Amino acid sequence: MSDTPRPIRIGNVSGFYGDRFSAVREMLEGGDLDYIVGDYLAELTMLILGRDRLKNPDLGYAKTFLRQMEENLELLAEKDVKVIVNAGGLNPHGLAVALREVIDKLGVDRRVAFVNGDDIVGRAAELGLGTPITANAYLGGFGIKAALDAGADIVVTGRVTDASLVVGTAASAFGWGYDDLDQLAGAVVAGHVIECSAQATGGNYSFFTEIEDMGKLGFPIAEVAADGSSVITKHEGTGGAVLVGTVTAQLLYEVAGPRYYNPDATARLDTIALSQEGRDRVRISGVKGEAPPKDLKVSMNHLGGIRNEFEVVLTGLDIEAKAALFQKQFEAALPSRPAELTWELVRLDRPDADTEEKASAMLRCVVRDADPKKAGRQFTSTAVELALASYPGFTLTAPPGNGSPYGVFEPGYVDAALVPHQVNQPGGVTVRIEPSPLRAEPIVDQSVPSSGTTAEWGATVDAPLGTVAGARSGDKGGSANIGLWARSDDEYAWLDQILSVDKLKELLPEVADLTVHRYPLPNMRAVNFVIEEVLGRGVAENVRFDPQAKGLGEWLRSRVVAVPARFLNESTTTNEGN
């Protein structure tokens, strides 16, 4: 009989604050699980929770999670499934207290622990981080491990890394220590795959038309083994699919170079091996780990001021002249010039349109200023006052508004030894978690040019890049990444050859003047680009059409390039098992 413990089954129930509320019950009723994890935090969420806490110091956590637990605690206890989530946000202690009250009311046997110490806003100035309204260090998974080792059934945390929910869970189940770098790195990768819920099962997937059931997608499950390898799957009978492609897409989401830094181990993305093990089962193996970085990343938010906006509709002829007239009139009529005023003309119109909507374009104006007067009702009222004195066909898409506060995200870094990573155990004892003794200065991955090969591909056909390549894009603070992957070795060789930084800038003129880094990941047949400052100072402050860069990859896929004709004649759906 083998002494190797069986893999543990970890189901994800949330990828963001506002994800499917019923996911907890669906996961519990859909099949066997050992653990449930959920990611409720993002850079923008921390700002939202920060505002909540300013209004009421007892808040600052994800209230949705508390309601989910109230509805499912009895089933959790019956099935003895443990829960690990970062829903504590800025107030994990407050969430733990509220959870214990619900547990007492329902009379169920569930023990709660919470992890904190990440909130360093009170020491931000002392640590050289300025005076933000929120400052949270990304903690690792060993606080979660300690809580589970002490018998906790529910562990709520503040700002741990998304993958740490799985890392801490697996480290507890298998007794890993800081020196088990390959195993920890494998768990980092598994955690990264399932952290965004249905994105691993077909959500936001470039080739979604090839998935039979795109109705109600199942949420992902990671079966993590003692050696750090894993199988990504989902409950039988749920929608979506788990394919090498869906897992590859999620692996490329919001990453940079081949090294994926986490507080407990640095995972080498360029060592990952993926294979289709069966229907809705993708194996992840071969992940190598390196020492974690010496410093922890810190998520900081500052109040930037007031932001306001309006859109006017321009219909029919002379669109650009109408836009120019209104912009000139509006700026001349403003009582005082705001700090930032941005105009964007969106040309959705077409000649000789058969509907009014198809004949119309949108002119959007966004203002930002620290002075509420300059960015408030005065701003939008100025637009309204021009209603009978500007271009023909003037109309606004919405009534004037007062504007709203906006935040500015800023990353920072602090030595992990200066952050008090703490666990409040079910019995009330507080334990300090020391950072990894293996911490080291991080190795910075260098941008890599295209392969430079001169392979001949035969006849070509002008076609969208997306007929061959899939893409996944997303925000990384003020930067964004676009990961592209191919589904055969030949297609990847072609993609790596043609898709240089210069070619990317040619295809996406909006980023032509920005710094772009390129990182090939041949083991996943992928190339990842990181575009600096395309999102300004982060999602909350950004006024770009696509503020979180979620559609950036799909725009790139829609661009026409010279595609080898033989790729268009071959099936692109036969490579999932490779």
- Residue pLDDT, tens place only, 39-57: 999 877 887 888 788 788 8
- Tokens for 165, please give them: 């929910």
For residue 157, count other CB atoms closer than 10 A to its CB.
Answer: 30
Rounded distance between C-alpha atoms, residue 183 and residue 169, angstroms: 12
- Residue pLDDT, tens place only, 365-408: 999 999 988 999 889 999 999 999 999 999 999 888 888 888 88
Q: Is 523 helix (H, G, I), strand (E, B) or coil?
A: helix
- Residues 475 and 254: beta-carbon distance below 8 Å: yes
Confidence (pLDDT) at 410: 87
Q: How far is CA 155 from CA 81, 91, 112, 416, in A?
A: 12, 13, 6, 22
In the DSSP assignment, the letter for residue 574 is: S
Stretch 339-354: mean pLDDT, rounded?
94
- Residues 9 and 27: beta-carbon distance below 8 Å: no
Beta-bridge partners for 364: 311, 344
The least confident of 45-49, 65-69, 331-335, 463-467 is 45-49
State if pTM tops 0.85. Answer: yes
Domain chopping of the chain, boundaries = 8-299+411-432, 303-407, 460-569
- Tokens for 235, please give them: 């409950």
Rounded distance between C-alpha atoms, residue 134 and residue 159, angstroms: 11
CATH annotation of 303-407: 3.30.70
Q: Beta 112-116 vs 134-137: how paired, if at all?
A: unpaired
- Residue pLDDT, tens place only, 485-511: 999 999 999 999 999 999 999 999 999
Confidence (pLDDT) at 578: 36
Q: Which residues of 385-418 are buried (b: 16+ CB within 10 A; e: fewer)?
A: ebeeebbeebeeeeebeebeebbbbbebbbebee
> What Rg do the C-alpha atoms of the chain give, in angstroms?
25
- Residue pLDDT, tens place only, 191-216: 999 999 999 999 999 999 999 999 99
Q: Which residues of 45-80 are buried (b: 16+ CB within 10 A; e: fewer)?
A: bbbbbbbbbeeeeebbbbbbbbebbbebbeebbeee
- Tokens for 560, please give them: 């026409």
Stretch 442-460: mean pLDDT, rounded?
88
> Which DSSP helix (H) or strand (E) runs through 167?
helix 164-174
In the DSSP assignment, the letter for residue 511 is: G
Of the pLDDT bands very low, low, confident and very high (cuts 50, 70, 90), residue 571 is very low
Stretch 86-98: mean pLDDT, rounded?
96
- Tokens for 177, please give them: 């220590």
81 pLDDT higher than 80: yes
- Residue pLDDT, tens place only, 105-164: 999 999 999 999 999 999 999 999 999 988 999 999 999 999 999 999 999 999 999 999
- Residue pLDDT, tens place only, 281-294: 999 999 999 999 99
